[in-house]
Amino acid sequence: MAESVKVAVRVRPFNTREKDRGAKTCLDMIGALTQISDPDTPGNPPKEFTFDYSYWSHDGFHEDEDGYLVADNDKYATQRKVFDDLGQGVLKNAFEGFNCSLFAYGQTGAGKSYSMVGYGNNKGIVPITCDELFKAMTNNTGDVKYQVSISMLEIYNEQVRDLLVKSNPKGGLQVRQNPKEGSFFVQNLKRVAVVSYEDIESRIEEGTANRTVAATQMNATSSRAHTVVTIVFDQISKNQSGQETKKSSNINLVDLAGSERADSTGATGDRLKEGANINKSLSALGNVISALADLSMGKKKVLVPYRDSVLTKLLQNALGGNSKTIMIAALSPADINYDETLGTLRYADRAKKIKNKAVVNENPMDKLIRELREENEKLKKMFEGGGQITMDAGGREMSEEEKENMKKQMRDELLAQMEFNNQSMMSWDEKVQMAQSDSSAGEQSEKQKKVQNVAHLINLNEDPMLSRVIFISWIKTKIGRKDADPAPNIPLTGLSILKQHALVKSGNGEITIEPASVGAKIKVNGVALTGERVLKHHDRILFGSNHMYILVYPTNLEKSEGTPDNVDWEFAQKEIAQAKGFATGFGSGLSKDQQRAQEQVLELLPMVSEVNAISEELNKHKTFEVILISGAAQGGDSETKVMVRMKNLLNNNVWLWDRGKFMNRRFLMQENYQLSIDGEDLSKIPKEEDPFWEPPEDVLIGTANVFLQSLSYALDFDDKLSITDYKGEEVATTVINVSPCIASGKALDEEFFVEDPSELLGRDYHFKVQQGLYIKYKPYQETEFTTTKTVKDTLSPDFDAKDAKVFHYDVVKQELLDWFDSGCITFQLMGRQEDSDPDATRTRMTTKELRQMEMQMRPGMGPRSTTVIGNDIAPAQLKAEHILLKRKNQLLLKKEKRIQDLCNEWAKKPPAEQSFEAFSPCSDCSSRSSVWTNKIQSQHSDGDAEESKWHHGQRRSRQS
Helix, strand, coil percentages (3-state) for the chain, rounded to 5, are 40, 25, 35
Is the Cβ–Cβ distance between 354 and 292 less than 8 Å? yes
CA distances from 425 to 164, 242, 367, 418 (A): 21, 21, 12, 11
Residue 149 labelled as part of a binding site: no
581 in a labelled binding site: no
Q: 108 labelled as ligand-binding?
A: yes
Neighbours of 728 (CB within 10 A): 14
> Is the four-CA dihedral 183, 189, 195, 199 of positive or negative sign?
negative
Contact 254, 315 (CB under 8 A): yes
DSSP state of 908: T
Alpha helices in 678-813 (DSSP H): 709-712
Bridge pairing between strands 824-831 and 699-707: antiparallel
- Please give the Cα distance from 317 to 326 (Å, whole number): 13
Answer for the pair 711, 767: CB distance below 8 angstroms, yes or no: yes
Q: How far apart are the first and last CA of the chain?
A: 77
H or E stretch covering 295: helix 280-296
SS (H, E, C) 326-392: EEEEEECCEHHHHHHHHHHHHHHHHHCCCEECCCCCEEEHHHHHHHHHHHHHHHHHHHHHCCCCCEC
Q: How many CB atoms lie within 10 A of CB 231?
A: 23
Which own/partner pairs from 652-655 qualify as long-range (CB within 8 Å, at least 24 positions apart)? 653/696, 653/699, 653/833, 653/835, 653/836, 654/699, 654/833, 655/694, 655/697, 655/699
**Cα-only R_g, the chain:** 36
Helix 365-385 / helix 400-425 crossing angle, nearest 10 deg: 160
Is 112 flagged in the annotation as binding? yes
> Residue 486: is the preceding peptide bond cis (ω within 30°)?
yes
Q: Is 106 annotated as a binding residue?
A: yes
Residue 615: closest CA among 852, 278, 273, 857? 852
Q: State yes or no: 107 annotated in a binding site.
A: yes
> Phi, psi at residue 706, to the nearest 5°?
-115, 115
Q: CA nearest 82: which of 9, 137, 155?
A: 9
Binding residues for ATP: 106-113
